[in-house]
A = this chain, B = another copy of it.
Amino acid sequence: MEVNNRYITITNHIQGSAKESDFELKVVPLRLSVEPGSSKVILKNLWVSIDPYQLNRMKRYSSSQKTIQSAVRITPGQPIDSPGVARVLVSDDPEFVKDDLVAGFVHWGEYTVAKGGMLRKLDPEIDLPLSYHAGVLGISGLTAYAGLFEICKAKKGDKVFVSAACGSVGNLVGQYAKLSGCYVVGCAGSRDKEETDLNSALARYFPDGIDIYFDNVGGEMLEAAVANMNTCGRVAACGAIAEYSEGAKRAAPNMIDVIYKRIKIQGFLVTDHMSLHSDFLSTTTDYIHNGEIKVQEDISSGVESIPSAFIGLFRGDNVGKKMVKDCR
């Protein structure tokens, strides 16, 4: 059987901010069968997560910029992989059979052809919305969990600051920290302020200083956080949304602060912390069942809504985790 697979791709490597014309909807025939021995799985995508980090994979880089390894770059015309939830249609992987529900990396489109090893079978007994597995119980949640507990070693009494606190990751960082007995303040959408304002605002909210900064934005907010940090403060560098677009001012944290206060600034990617997954999943599922973690989602429908959903992230359009459903 053959279907038309509709998916979103980029038309070119993006310069500056993303705009609608950087994206196109492609329609490509797809045979719903897999070669024996290929270990491949064909999925019907149910939920697709929309995350700001994808912009880094889409951007144009000069040949000397080695930041983003070519393996993780997105090629114009090709499907874009992204956290999501899907149903198995056809499988050559013995781990999966037709109609299994899975979470993992799917494409921004109707169908995904994947290797089974990258997918996690969902327990149909878990009475939580399927979409959660592409967000709070997926990559977003594990990112918050790994950054806060593994990179920053958050413990009771720590004073925690988190930026982009309305986003999918920041929102959970705040909730995890509070549930661990930390004092938490978040910020959102304030990255246009003057540095001096940020500095004194943080001094007001943190009269006893900041122990942990979970950084999703970079830029002047990172500078202000470092200036207000306590001895042995820790920064989990998770995102730098204020620095993603071209010409943006980069963070220049005061290195004399970093040295004298023995501050650690550590970048991390969630894919290095998959060993935490089962701990994270049981902890978070319990929190949600007990009503201790509130999940906020911002949902659009249909493959064609993906570009505007993505572009909206950088305008702060979304409240909570941005998701697209009904990719058909």
Q: Which residues of A contact B (CB under 8 A)?
A: 56, 64, 66-69, 72, 199-200, 203, 209, 215, 218, 222, 227, 237-240, 243-244, 249-269, 272
Contact = CB atoms under 8 A, between A and B. Distances in A.
A251 B255 contact: yes
Contact of A267 (B218, B240, B259): B259
Contact of A199 (B64, B222, B259): B64
Given A66-B227, A250-B252, A259-B267, 17 more contacts: A64-B200, A67-B254, A67-B256, A68-B256, A72-B260, A222-B255, A243-B254, A243-B256, A244-B256, A250-B254, A251-B252, A252-B252, A259-B269, A261-B267, A262-B267, A262-B268, A264-B267
26 contacts: A56-B260, A67-B254, A67-B256, A67-B257, A215-B255, A218-B255, A218-B256, A237-B258, A237-B259, A240-B256, A243-B254, A249-B252, A250-B253, A250-B254, A251-B255, A260-B267, A261-B267, A262-B266, A262-B267, A262-B269, A262-B272, A263-B267, A264-B264, A264-B267, A265-B265, A266-B266
Contacts of A261: 67, 267
Among A72, A238, A259, A269, the one with the most B-chain Cβ atoms within 10 Å of its Cβ is A259
A112 to B, nearest CB: 24
A203 B240 contact: no
B259 A238 contact: yes
B269 A243 contact: no
Among A66, A227, A238, the one with the most B-chain Cβ atoms within 10 Å of its Cβ is A66
Nearest to A217: B255
A66 B240 CA distance: 25
A265 B262 contact: no
Among A254, A260, A261, the one with the most B-chain Cβ atoms within 10 Å of its Cβ is A260
A200 B64 CA distance: 9
Contact of A240 (B243, B250, B259): B259
Contacts of A222: 255
